[in-house]
Structure 1
Amino acid sequence: MILYPAIDLKDGQCVRLLRGEMSAATVFGDDPATQAATFEAAGCDWLHLVDLNGAFAGQPVNAAAVEAILARISVPAQLGGGIRDMATIEMWLSKGLARVILGTVAVENPDLVKQAARAFPSQVAVGIDARKGFVATKGWATETTVQATDLARSFEDAGVAALIYTDIDRDGAMQGPNIAATEALARAVTIPVIASGGVSSMADLTALQATGVIAGAISGRALYDGAIDLATALKALKS
């Protein structure tokens, strides 16, 4: 199981939100590129980046910070937030991102996701952000009647590289991930599923890995707070 350290970007800074609320942001640093380099030095194989302002604006906002990160690291990185058209997808992949994450557009324009997945094999992931099983879009501000599992299944044969499943009510709350819902989603599709939201201890990572079906886990606040030591966790997951 791959552990993805998360760098969430708001106004050019590294932050963590509580349950997706922009007003509940904790700033962890004003040099995202250095934070990325620190994660890489600890041994991570991937980085997970989010343009939080972009998720609300519907277009890239923290591009300068993302580009600075890409210039500093050699490990692959994936980015979500404000990526809603083919031109933006192409722009980010041309700048060296390994994978783009499409969330809002996966609900509003699923054909674009399928088109992008065909055009850029293994470089397009779908972000499924859910509250009580129903998908939320536009930086989690808009709730839909679409069920997370139904959305996931709709991309089953599209060539999507991964599904990133976030339980919004767990995100940033340090209360543990929704393992049951994530495992159920992973068993419902053949696309690799990455868990996000609430991963706050080594025990959480071990429990996710023990399902045998969850391909990855994203953690942010726990790494910044020291609840998870990244180097130790990476070694434990590989052993």
Structure 2
Amino acid sequence: MSFNLYPAIDLKDGQCVRLLRGEMDKATAFNPDPSDQAYQFKTMGFDRLHVVDLNGAFAGDSANGEAVRGILKATDVPVQLGGGIRTRAQINAWLEAGISRVILGTAALRDPDLVKSAARDLPEKIVVGVDAKDGYVAVEGWAETSDIKAVELAKIFEGCGVAGLVVTDISRDGMKTGVNVAFTSEMADAVSIPVIASGGVASVEDIKNLRKSGGKRPISGTILGRALYDGDIDPAEAIEAARA
């Protein structure tokens, strides 16, 4: 299995930002022009993007649509999008707009049948976001923690055609404290759906550790956030580590 890297573009009020542990009041703006950021990532050699509409995640509806469409115009790499997408109409609209894969997080917990039917009808287009706080699923832009374990939620979507799981350890997100390899590996072993690690990636060493996680099933990729923006991860080294 190839190991894919997904540079993250998190959108808040039309800008490219990074949060600490998903807290909206702890946002650092990195680029006022998300389409420029998307173009930069492509020129660095990355061949896909992970975009999140943060305002949308809290509002339950797309809030940074103009910025997303700008990203799509600026680059031709596949873009996966999450944040506030909770209906089939929204899923269809974004796929028609050129998004390659739609990430469903809150909808996966609140309306699993929607996710299953969309995954069956739209092969390789639906990704489930499993955001965990102390092992339990958090939703509504991570503002609410449920009583369902992350592993239990993942298993609900086994066999229905979901293209991937983006697994985030919220406590590490934006903190550059190192990715939670053990938790991600546990999730990868629990289901046959490809698992993408998210949260806390601090260095190229984290990419190497994810690749050699030692679980029964390999981890399929990781999302790169603050450490990439801060310059702690060299793009060329990261790409080389992913392909090694």
Q: Quickly name the TM-score band, shorter chain normalised.
A: over 0.9
State the alpha-carbon separation in 1 of the partners of residues 85 and 235 from structure 2: 28
| 1:69 alignment partner, one of 71, 76, 80 | 71
- Aligned pairs for 1:1-239 (under 5 A) are 1-211=3-213, 213-239=218-244
| Contact 2:128–2:162 (CA under 8 A) maintained in structure 1 | yes
State the alpha-carbon separation in 2 of the partners of residues 15 and 86 from structure 1: 28
**Per the alignment, in what secondary structure is the counterpart of residue 238 of structure 2?**
helix
Tell me by how many angstroms 1:124 deviates: 0.3
Tell me by how many angstroms 1:189 deviates: 0.5
Deviations 1:59-95 (A, max 9, x none): 0000000000001111101000000000000000000
Tell me by how many angstroms 1:236 deviates: 2.5
Tell me by how many angstroms 1:237 deviates: 1.6
Residue identity opposite 1:72 in structure 2: A
State the alpha-carbon separation in 2 of the partners of residues 103 and 237 from structure 1: 26
State the alpha-carbon separation in 2 of the partners of residues 116 and 50 from structure 1: 20
State the alpha-carbon separation in 1 of the partners of residues 179 and 142 from structure 2: 17
State the alpha-carbon separation in 1 of the partners of residues 103 and 190 from structure 2: 20
Residue identity opposite 1:169 in structure 2: S
State the alpha-carbon separation in 2 of the partners of residues 204 and 121 from structure 1: 30
Unaligned ranges ≥5, structure 1: none
Residue identity opposite 1:79 in structure 2: L
**Per the alignment, in what secondary structure is the counterpart of residue 122 of structure 1?**
coil
State the alpha-carbon separation in 1 of the partners of residues 191 and 47 from structure 2: 24
Q: Aligned pair count?
A: 239
**Per the alignment, in what secondary structure is the counterpart of residue 115 of structure 2?**
helix
Q: TM-score, normalised by structure 2?
A: 0.97
**Aligned-CA RMSD value:** 0.7
Tell me by how many angstroms 1:232 deviates: 2.1
Residue identity opposite 1:112 in structure 2: L
Tell me by how many angstroms 1:177 deviates: 1.0
Tell me by how many angstroms 1:230 deviates: 1.3
State the alpha-carbon separation in 2 of the partners of residues 221 and 118 from structure 1: 34
Deviations 1:206-227 (A, max 9, x none): 1001126100100110111000
Identity %: 57
Residue identity opposite 1:142 in structure 2: E
Deviation above 4 Å: which 4+ runs of structure 1? none
Unaligned ranges ≥5, structure 2: none
State the alpha-carbon separation in 1 of the partners of residues 113 and 158 from structure 2: 13
Q: TM-score, normalised by structure 1?
A: 0.99
State the alpha-carbon separation in 2 of the partners of residues 193 and 237 from structure 1: 15
Tell me by how many angstroms 1:155 deviates: 0.3
State the alpha-carbon separation in 1 of the partners of residues 242 and 88 from structure 2: 35
